[in-house]
Structure 1
């Protein structure tokens, strides 16, 4: 249903996120939280660096429990990711929403974002968002690949070798996790700055201006 706006145009609620995009988004959010928190518990059992994560930020209770959480979340993440990728390619979701990504567009939108002057339309990704989504998808692939090389370093010796050995694969896995965590922080910050984007990821609909509509 359209509603008349103050400037004489009309606004109308339209679909901006498909059901599959919404479901996979929330499943992915749940899986990533479980993976990161259980991964931090696993890290604490054999730290790579001179720090540990606080116990309240971990799940599993003990190493075996945390590993069980980690693998369960991993398979959920992989299955959910395959559904999202299949949907993205079949419907051209990636091409329509994430491409093209041009350096000059990214720099332009980044400058506007840093000065809080970047306009936002729900369901439309700016150049910075498109780049971030592509990067986090690549981080996800890197997480799974490096995680498998750590899990099965003998059976998947060729994969572990691609990462430069078991110890370096652990560091790659940690760096990819840090990249995903950083994306989540930025993503949540943007949601807080533009809170109207959240309801559309639940309902799938947002209000858009409809041009050329006149009263009967």
Structure 2
């Protein structure tokens, strides 16, 4: 028989759904800023193997010549992003949710088994738990990345007023590289996260929207030795 089981509290869902569009818009507005000085590439000397955004990309999506607009949006959203992240950390600390989110000594082994399972190498089902090792590592890393983005962003926004911070991060150029690398990390996380949500199916997605998921539980009326499906109406 099927049963509704609570999975994600309301606060966690709100933090999640506020953070997703805010971070997406911050990345988009950040590209308006990056256009003004898009120096990063993969190559050596005058040889470029890969340029992150060619001019045709900027023109196709109308990202060019929007530096002031991008900075305005980016800095407004920065405060929403920072406040949402701070409240999330405080909530997990006070509510005790951190116990299920923080990696432990078994998380890396669990994460490896999750990778093998997702690749189809491990055939046995994974142990039932709210967050597996891979999720614990990924979600904790994203929180740390958020703090890193905030610090590196402030360092390149106010390099004179916050000279100590800029210096601690390796100087203005290094702080900018670190900020850009963290942004690339967010994009990669988004792609993997969305792929995993699609792979997990509607039940998993619903748990982050409504807070509960539907699980199959043994029917107490099922005769011994028979699977629940043998006595459960398929409808």
| Aligned equivalents of 2:72, 2:124: Cα separation in 1 | 43
Q: 1:61 to 1:194 in 2, by over 3 A?
A: farther
Q: For the residues of structure 1 that align with 2:89 and 2:158, how far apart are their CA atoms?
A: 25
Structural mapping, 1:93-172, within 5 Å: 93-100=97-104, 102=106, 103-115=108-120, 117=123, 119=125, 124-172=130-178
Does structure 2 conserve the Cα–Cα contact (< 8 Å) formed by 1:12 and 1:209?
yes
Aligned partner of residue 206 in structure 1, secondary structure:
strand
Structure 1 residue 88 displacement after superposition: 0.5
- Structure with bigger gyration radius: 2
1:36 to partner: Cα distance: 0.5
Which structure 1 residue ranges, 5 or more long, are not aligned?
5-10
Q: Is 2:71 aligned against 1:64?
A: no
TM-score, normalised on structure 1?
Answer: 0.85
Residues 61 and 195 (structure 1), Cα distance of their counterparts in 2 relative to 1, 3 Å cut = farther
Q: For this pair of structures, how many residues does the alignment match?
A: 206
1:45 is matched with which residue? 36
Structure 1 partner of 2:13: 22
Give yes or no for contact 1:17–1:123 (8 Å, CA) kept in 2.
Answer: no
Structure 2 spans left out of the alignment, 5+ residues: 42-50, 223-235
Question: Can you list the C-alpha shifts for 1:105-157, whole angstroms capped at 9, x where unaligned?
Answer: 22222212222757479982211111111111111111011001011101110
- Residue in structure 1 matching 2:26, options 16, 26, 35: 35
CA distance in 2, matches of 1:16, 1:60: 43
SS of the residue corresponding to residue 108 of structure 1 reads helix
**What is residue 213 of structure 2 aligned with on the other side?**
206
Distance across 2 between alignment mates of 1:108 and 1:73: 37
Tell me the CA shift for residue 83 of structure 1.
1.2
Could you tell me which residue of structure 2 aligns to residue 79 of structure 1?
83
**Does the residue aligned with 1:191 lie in a helix, a strand or coil?**
helix
Q: CA-to-partner distance for each residue in 1:166-203, whole Å, 9 max, x for gaps?
A: 01100000011111111111000101111221111111
Do the aligned partners of residues 21 and 101 (structure 1) sit closer, same or farther apart at CA in structure 2, a change above 3 Å counting?
A: farther
